[in-house]
Structure 1
Amino acid sequence: MTEVFEIPDGKAADSSAPLHPLLAARWSPRALDPAAELGDGELRALFEAARWAPSWGNTQPARFLAGRRGEPVFDRIHGTLSRGNKGWAAAAAALVVGLARTTDDEGEPLPYGEYGVALAAQNLVLQAVAEGLVAHQMAGFDRDAVRAEFAVPDGFEPVVAIAVGRLGSTDGMPDRLREKEAAPRSRKALADLVFTERWGEPLF
């Protein structure tokens, strides 16, 4: 596998300690190349990465719906996206919905299903970066529409939609989206996130 960690200006993680380039290069662009395609091997690798994510008791609660641009499944997933996501996500090479299994074979609640999907989705996204791709995770989609469109059975909950593709140009994007694409990435300081001794006392 060729490691490709190309990071546009201003998009590298500004970290207080060195990060692996795979992590430093991960971001969530909306400017996607509408001509880019995903090969079978690239697509399979994304879901192999997701499959090998850790999960509570190895219950492996993550399930996925996926389609490439030009396929009917892509259009069906695209139709469930919020209005704000539909415009830019149409240029994705593939659209994915991650779902969590919420009950076991006996119908009992299955703990940590959403957490398991989150871990699997992050594996998928980092594999995409390793393949020279980009991915944007979305909360803006209609979960009930996904259930109806794909006959999702009881015991499974749509959690996240993901657009995967290659970085494209911001030409033609609305001004507000172009500004978001150009804005530097930022995060809260570690002092606001990691405590010791007592709540609010920074470790770093």
Structure 2
Amino acid sequence: MAELGNILEKATFLNQFENKRYAPIRETYLCFEANVDLAKPVWYSNQQGVHAETRFLENLTTLDDGRSYTVTCYLSWSPCADCSEALVEFVRDNRNVNLRIFVSRLYYIDEERNREGLRLLNDAGVHLEVMNYEHFEYCWETFVDHKQSPFPSWDDIVENYAYFQEELTNILQENSLCARDGVCVLIVRTSMVRRGYSDMQHFLPPMCTS
């Protein structure tokens, strides 16, 4: 199992970050950069049952409250429910940190807890997006020991990005419910239904009907 380091091997990056739709679950790799010298490795992976996101957060606990930071992460898999909750707690406790997350693939999104975790991240103000061709190429040039070789890409990289991005968009819109000016807007995946407030009360959670 990989430890951590300052640069990834070419084979490791291609094996872990390739955005296949039906890729087997291997490890989560997290590459990151920030507008501060953390004097730490720039990537993490799972180690002895500890998720890459947890190890990443442990590295960020020393950020100075007197400064503002932008931290950008590139993950081979989107965070699981528990890691999403930990990331949300971190950004809520560190308002001076602007966290941006780009993911190659979506982790077990058939499980509602993982879907809800992604919505929690989005609601907490974390920029959440699927990696496109330019992101993969940037990671290749920034985090990989590529030995001056160009990013090799792979079949269906653009099509798979579009597929995962649509899935993520649907998840973030799913079951979003609000009431304003007597009108409720119910968003279910990509469809939106506008109905009168009184007609929708039996759909609303208690906080919306009070």
Q: Which has the higher strand share?
A: 2
Q: Same fold (TM over 0.5)?
A: no
User: Could you state the TM-score of these two structures normalised by the residue count of structure 2?
Assistant: 0.23
User: Could you state the TM-score of these two structures normalised by the residue count of structure 1?
Assistant: 0.23
Question: Which structure has the greater CA radius of gyration?
Answer: 2
Q: Which has the higher contact order (CA 8 A, sep 6+)?
A: 1
